[in-house]
Structure 1
Amino acid sequence: MRIALTNIERIATGDIERPLAEGGDIVIEDGRIQSVGVPADTADCDVVIAAGGMIAAPGLIDSHVHITFGDYTPRQKTVGFLESYVHGGVTTSISASEVHVPGRPRDPEGVKALAVAAMKCFLDYRPSGMRVHAGSLILEPGLTRADLEQVRALGVWMVKAGFGAFSNANDYAPLVRIARELGMVSMVHTGGSSIPGSGGIWAENLLAINPDVSYHVNGGPTAMPEEGFARLVHESDIALQLCTAGNLRTSLLVTRQLLAKDDLHRLLIATDTPTGSGIMPLGMWYTISYLASLGVLPPELGIAAATGNNARVFGLNSGIIAPGKDADIVLIDACDGGSQTDALSGLLNGDIPAIGAVISGGVPRFVGRSRNTPATMRKVRVVKSTIIQNFSSETH
C-alpha cells in the first residue's frame, strides 16, 4: 500500500536532537516511510490523506504496559484496552512483564514458559493495528545462564527484575548482567513495592544491578528517596522512565536534572498501566502536557521522550519520522473550542492534543476523529482511496 499524507504544517520528528521540522508531505510505502517533506506525487498512491494543516508526530511507544494475553486486563477486568490506547495515539506497547497473569508461575520453568508464550502470542496479533512486544522474562531465583540462553534462542529479548522472590534486590545483578551479555534489554522496578510480596528498590540497588532501564523511576506508584535521583543521573547511564501512574513531583525533579546534565536522551515517557491506576489511553499525552505546561520541557522534546527515545533504548525501527522508519504516525491538532491554535501550543497550555488520524505499520487505523479526544480544530480527510475503506471512525 502506498499512502500520502499531505498539507502537514509541522512535524514533531521524535528525534531528541532535532525534535521539530518543517511540514510538507509524507509518503509511505509497504509499511515504511519513503519520503518526508518532499511534495508527493499522489497519482500512484492508493490512499491520500489531507492533514488540513495539522502536526504529524510519531505514534507513541508506551514502554510500560502490563499486558497479559489478548486485549484484556484482569487487573481492571477490561476488554479492548489496547484498542482504546490506539485511539490515544499509541501505536506500540512494550510489556512490563506478564506479572498480572492470574496465578502466574514463579519457578524457573514456569516463568520461561510464560515469557515465550506471551512473546509468541503477540507476534502476529495486532489489536487495532498496535504492535505489542510481549514476553519479558520475570527474573526469579533458580534461573541460570542456560535458562536465559534458552529463551533468548526462542525469541525472548527482554527481562524484568523487581517481582522475583529475591530477599535482596542486589541479587538480581548477576542475571541482569547475563541478560545484557546476551543482548537482552533489562528493566528494573524502581521505588516502593507495588504488589504484595515485592519490595522497594532504591538508587543504590539500581547502581548495583545496572539495568538498561529504570522502570517508573518517578515511582510505581511510590517514589524512592529523593537523594537517589541525582545518583542515578550522575553515576549511571541507565535510561530513566517516567510513568503517568507515578509521582509527578519527582517526574519534574528527574527531568530537570537530566536537562541540566544535557542527558535528555535517557528520558523515557510511558504509563505503567493498566494497574491500580486504571486504564489510561491518553496517559502519555498527560505526562507530556504536565512537563510542558509547568515549564520543564518543551512539548516537542516530550514527544521525543515518548517516541524516539523509547525506540532507541528498546531497539525498534520506529519512533522517528524519517525515511526508512516504520510508518507509525499520528496527526494531532488543538482541540476544537479550546484556547490554542495548534497541538504544541495546546500542550504548553496544559491541554492534551486532539487526534485526527493514526497510521500504524503503514495502514490507516482511523481518519477523522479519535473516540478518546475532543474533535480537532482542523479537519483531516481521505481525499483518495482505491481501497474499499474510508477509514472513518464516525461511528465511535
Structure 2
Amino acid sequence: MRTAIVNLGGIVTGDINAPTAPGDAILLEDGVITAVGSVTPSQIEAADVVVDAAGTIAMPGLIDSHVHITFGDYTPRQKVVGFLESYLHGGVTSSITASEVHVPGRPKDPAGVKALALAARACFLNYRPGGMRVHAGSIILEPGLTEADIAELAAAGLWLAKAGFGAFETPYGYAEPMGWARKHGMVTTMHTGGSSIPGSSGIWAEHVLAANAHVSFHVNGGPVAMPEEGFARLVNESDVAMQICTAGNLRTALKTWKLLDEAGQPERLLIATDTPTGSGIMPLGMLYTISHLASLAGMDPTRAIAAATGNNARTYRLNSGFLQVGKDADVVLIDACAGGACDNALTALSNGDVPAVAAVFTDAVPRFVGRSRNTPAAIRNVRVAQCRLPMDFSGAAH
C-alpha cells in the first residue's frame, strides 16, 4: 500500500539530537517510509491514499516501552478488553512488554516461565490490535533458570529479559542471569523502586548497577520511587537507559530529565506508561508525560517526543521511532485541541496540554483519519483527499 501525507505544518523526526526536519510531506510504501520532506506530483497521483494533513504536525508513532500485556487485547489486572487498540488512539503505534507478570496464576518454575514468555511472544507475532505492533514475551528471571535455558529462549527468538519479580533472596541474585541474557543478545530490563506487587521487593540503584541492566524500568517509581541518591548514581556510574513512566512519581521524573540533560546524555531518557497496573488504563499516558516534560521541566517538546519514540527504538533495537527513509511507516498527526489556548501541537505541549491525535498510520496503512476517540477534536480538518481503495479511513468509521 502506498500512502502520501501532504500539507504538513511540521515534521518531528524522533531523533533527540536533530528533532525536526524541513518539508511538508511524507510518503509511505509497503510498510516503510520512502520519502520525508517532499513528495512529487507523480508520487501523489500514484498513491492509493492521499491524506491532507491541513497544517498538522507529523511525528513518529509513540513507542510505549512498558506495557503489562498478557494474551491478546485484554488485561486481567483491570478486566478491560480492547485496551491496546485504545492506546493506538492515543498515538501509540508500538508496545513493548514489561513481562507478562499479571497473567493470573503466573508460573514461577523454570519450565513455566519459559513457556509463558514463548506463548506470549507467539500470541502477537501475527496479531496487531487496531494496527499496533506489539513486542511480547519477556522471560521473568527466576531461581533455577540456567544459562542453557536462556540460550534456548534466545535461539527461539525471545529477546527480552526482566528482573524484579523473581524469588531471589536479594535483588543481587539477578546479576548472574542478567549477565547470561546480555551474553545471548537479549535486552535486559529491571524493576526499579519500591515493591509493586505482593511478594516482590524494592530494587535500588545499587542493584541495577550490579545487574548491569540495559534499562532501569520506571526509574521514577512503579509507582514508588527509589531513594533520592540513587538517581545521580545511575546517571554518573552507568550507561543504563532511564525509563520514566506516567504511573510513577512526577517530581523524580522531572529530576531524571534534569540530571541526564546536565550530563549531556539525553538519549538515555525513555518515556513509557507502566500500565495497565493499579494506576489503570492510560491511552493518553505517553502524551501526558511528554506534556509534563515540556511544560514543567522546560524540555523542548520535539525532544520530549523523541524520548518517547527514537530513544525507545534505539534502546530496544527497533526499526520504528524515526521519520526517516527506510524506517517502519508508523506516523501520527497531532494538533492543538479545539477550544484550547494554543494554535499548534508543539505550543500546546509546552502549555501542558495533551494534543489532539488527528490521524494514525501503521505499516503505511491509515488506521483512522480525522478524529481520535480519546482526544478532543483537532483545530485543523485532517481528511482523506484521495482514496483508490474500497475502504473508509475516517474517524467516524471507528
Instruction: Note the alpha carbon deviations across 1:42-72, whole angstroms, 9 max, x for none.
Output: 1111100010000000000000000000100
Task: Give the alignment of 1:320-359 within 5 angstroms.
Answer: 320-359=322-361
**Secondary structure of 1:110's partner?**
helix
Whether the 8 Å contact between 1:14 and 1:308 is mirrored in structure 2 is yes
Among 301, 305, 308, the alignment partner of 2:307 is 305
Shift of 1:19: 0.6
Q: Give TM-score scaled by structure 2 length.
A: 0.99
Whole-angstrom distance in 2 between the partners of 1:124 and 1:9: 35
Whole-angstrom distance in 1 between the partners of 2:134 and 2:320: 13
Matched, 1:105 2:118: no
Whole-angstrom distance in 1 between the partners of 2:66 and 2:179: 21
Whole-angstrom distance in 2 between the partners of 1:228 and 1:49: 47
Instruction: Note the alpha carbon deviations across 1:53-97, whole angstroms, 9 max, x for none.
Output: 000000000000000001000000000000100000000000000
Whole-angstrom distance in 2 between the partners of 1:254 and 1:24: 34
Structure 1 stretches of 5 or more lacking a match?
none
Whether the 8 Å contact between 1:190 and 1:219 is mirrored in structure 2 is yes
Among 378, 382, 385, the alignment partner of 1:383 is 385
Among 211, 224, 235, the alignment partner of 2:237 is 235
Whole-angstrom distance in 1 between the partners of 2:238 and 2:385: 50
Instruction: Note the alpha carbon deviations across 1:4-56, whole angstroms, 9 max, x for none.
Output: 00001111110011011223110111010001012333111110001000000
Instruction: Note the alpha carbon deviations across 1:160-198, whole angstroms, 9 max, x for none.
Output: 000000011011001111111111000000000000000
Whole-angstrom distance in 2 between the partners of 1:182 and 1:151: 9
Structure 2 stretches of 5 or more lacking a match?
none
Match of 1:43 in 2: 45
Task: Give the alignment of 1:89-128 within 5 angstroms.
Answer: 89-128=91-130
Whether the 8 Å contact between 2:258 and 2:297 is mirrored in structure 1 is no
Match of 1:140 in 2: 142
RMSD over aligned Cα atoms: 0.7
Instruction: Note the alpha carbon deviations across 1:113-139, whole angstroms, 9 max, x for none.
Output: 000000011000000000000000000
Whether the 8 Å contact between 2:23 and 2:38 is mirrored in structure 1 is no
Whole-angstrom distance in 1 between the partners of 2:123 and 2:291: 34
More off after superposition, 312-321 vs 385-394: 385-394
Whether the 8 Å contact between 1:330 and 1:356 is mirrored in structure 2 is yes
Among 177, 188, 198, the alignment partner of 2:190 is 188
**Secondary structure of 1:35's partner?**
strand
Task: Give the alignment of 1:280-291 within 5 angstroms.
Answer: 280-291=282-293
Instruction: Note the alpha carbon deviations across 1:261-283, whole angstroms, 9 max, x for none.
Output: 00000000000000000000000
Whether the 8 Å contact between 1:255 and 1:296 is mirrored in structure 2 is no
One-letter amino acid matched to 1:220 = G
Match of 2:297 in 1: 295
Match of 1:31 in 2: 31
Whole-angstrom distance in 2 between the partners of 1:38 and 1:77: 45
More off after superposition, 24-33 vs 39-48: 39-48
Among 359, 362, 384, the alignment partner of 1:360 is 362
Matched, 1:275 2:277: yes
Shift of 1:295: 3.5
**Taking every aligned residue pair, what percent have the same amino acid on both sides?**
65
One-letter amino acid matched to 1:8 = L
One-letter amino acid matched to 2:113 = V
**Secondary structure of 1:24's partner?**
coil
Match of 2:18 in 1: 18
Call closer, same or farther: CA 1:295–1:202 in 2, change over 3 Å: closer
Shift of 1:315: 0.5
One-letter amino acid matched to 1:6 = V
More off after superposition, 20-29 vs 159-168: 20-29
Match of 1:8 in 2: 8
Match of 2:253 in 1: 251
Whole-angstrom distance in 1 between the partners of 2:22 and 2:352: 24
Count residues with an aligned counterpart. Answer: 396
Whether the 8 Å contact between 1:9 and 1:22 is mirrored in structure 2 is no
Shift of 1:395: 5.0
Match of 2:225 in 1: 223
**Secondary structure of 2:179's partner?**
helix
Among 168, 172, 175, the alignment partner of 1:173 is 175
Task: Give the alignment of 1:82-93 within 5 angstroms.
Answer: 82-93=84-95
Q: Give TM-score scaled by structure 1 length.
A: 0.99
